[in-house]
Amino acid sequence: MGKVKVIESWLGACAGCEISVLDLHETLLPVLEKIEFAYIPVLMDVKHPPKATVGIVSGGVRNSDNLHELLEIRKNCDILIALGSCACFGGNPGLANLFTTEELLSEVYVTTKSTKNEIGRNPYMDGLPTILPEMRAVGDYVKVDVMIPGCGPNPAMIGAAILSLLGGAPYELSTKSVCDECPREKSERNLKKILRPFEGTVDDKKCLFEQGYLCSGSATRAGCGARCPTAGAACRGCFGPCENSVEQGAAMISAVTSCYGLDDDPNTDLDAMVADIYDPIGNFYKYTLPSSLLNKKAIEKTAAKK
């Protein structure tokens, strides 16, 4: 039996997902015994994706070239894997959806203090890809068969997913939350003050959320092994919403308001709570804004203004 052909490409991404594949280290060897990369621009100079059994894409869709590449990969593979938070949810670059294309280009090429652009125009060259109005997850354009979220994805999950699919077995994500995997002690639901990452002294054993840090573990799908909170850093939510939860950000807002005392005292000062929460979009929708209902509402509102 020959090796299974795999095609892989990155769209609007940073290549961190490809680094995660290499981070399989020696466990990559049994995978490579069964698969053959027929197209992977980060490693091979092959111009067009051939027919293959498995297609893998990382990154979201930000421009016309990303969209063309995604449609080609989908057309030429039987099973499509969305690799990483950007491919699955739009990811961190999706926070740019809060601004119009004109505002983004102006910020990058004209108004940034380090930019020298005396004529005040955006650069232009024939043949460049067209920037689309917003960053979107690959699932907004094509059918996705398997999602492997994470920023970067857990290397063990990548290997398990590929071997599982090659064996004909379905690959399923965890239905638990990061809190279910976290070894930290949870004892109380009383959030007295919200702390920024550099404030206070972290207790090595207590739940980070209960200490006041905006840890998104309760609203985030498990699978990473709770690596960040175990190491003393709050979960940023890169595995996306939990099973059957559409809005990861809304789930986190609910968790914060609940523990801030609103459940027990309806007279809780919500203005003080809102003032206490720094960068709410960046905290609660860091990786999932493009796939959230909030993003769609923002886009509808922007379109209505035009």
String of DSSP letters for 192-239 = ---B-TTSS---SSB-TTTTTB---GGGBB--S-SHHHHTT-----TT
pLDDT range class, residue 229, cuts 50, 70, 90: very high
The H or E element that residue 79 is part of is strand 77-83
Tokens 């990154």 — which residue? Answer: 59
60 neighbors 128 (Cβ within 8 angstroms): no
pLDDT for residue 208 = 95
Enumerate residues 6+ apart whose C-beta is below 8 A from 283: 214, 216, 252, 277
Residues 123-145: what's their mean pLDDT?
A: 92
Residues 84-90: what's their mean pLDDT?
A: 97
Enumerate residues 6+ apart whose C-beta is below 8 A from 163: 30, 31, 34
pTM, two decimals, is 0.89
Query: How far is CA 59 from each of CA 8, 28, 48, 225, 261, rounded to the nearest angstrom?
Result: 11, 22, 18, 23, 39
The H or E element that residue 54 is part of is strand 52-58
pLDDT for residue 300 = 63
**What is the C-alpha to C-alpha distance for residues 133 and 22, in angstroms, rounded to an integer?**
33
Q: Which two tokens stand for residue 241?
A: 């919403």
DSSP state of 110: I
Query: How far is CA 156 from each of CA 21, 31, 162, 163, rounded to the nearest angstrom?
Result: 9, 12, 10, 11
Q: Quote the mean pLDDT of the chain.
A: 89
Quick one: what percent of the chain has pLDDT higher than 90? 57
- Is the pLDDT reported for residue 91 higher than 90? yes
Q: Comparing C-alpha atoms, which of 140, 149, 157, 161 is closest to residue 70?
A: 140
Residues 112-136: what's their mean pLDDT?
A: 88
Q: Which two tokens stand for residue 132?
A: 């689309």
Q: Which two tokens stand for residue 173?
A: 């994500």
**Type of residue at 256:** V
pLDDT range class, residue 224, cuts 50, 70, 90: very high
pLDDT tens by residue, 241-285: 999 888 899 999 888 887 776 666 777 777 777 788 888 889 999
pLDDT for residue 301 = 60
pLDDT for residue 269 = 77
pLDDT for residue 127 = 86
Q: Comparing C-alpha atoms, which of 91, 35, 60 is closest to residue 238?
A: 91
pLDDT for residue 299 = 60
Vertex 76: Cα angle to 72 and 150 (nearest 5): 75
pLDDT for residue 302 = 60
**Type of residue at 282:** G
Enumerate residues 6+ apart whose C-beta is below 8 A from 46: 38, 39, 40
Q: Is 147 helix (H, G, I), strand (E, B) or coil?
A: strand
pLDDT for residue 168 = 79
pLDDT tens by residue, 45-84: 999 999 999 999 999 999 999 999 999 999 999 999 999 9
pLDDT tens by residue, 141-168: 999 999 999 998 988 888 888 888 888 7
pLDDT for residue 22 = 82
pLDDT for residue 180 = 96
Residues 208-220: what's their mean pLDDT?
A: 94
Q: Comparing C-alpha atoms, which of 57, 65, 54 is closest to residue 91?
A: 57
57 neighbors 75 (Cβ within 8 angstroms): no
**What is the C-alpha to C-alpha distance for residues 199 and 213, in angstroms, rounded to an integer?**
9
State the CB neighbour count (10 A cutoff) for residue 303.
9
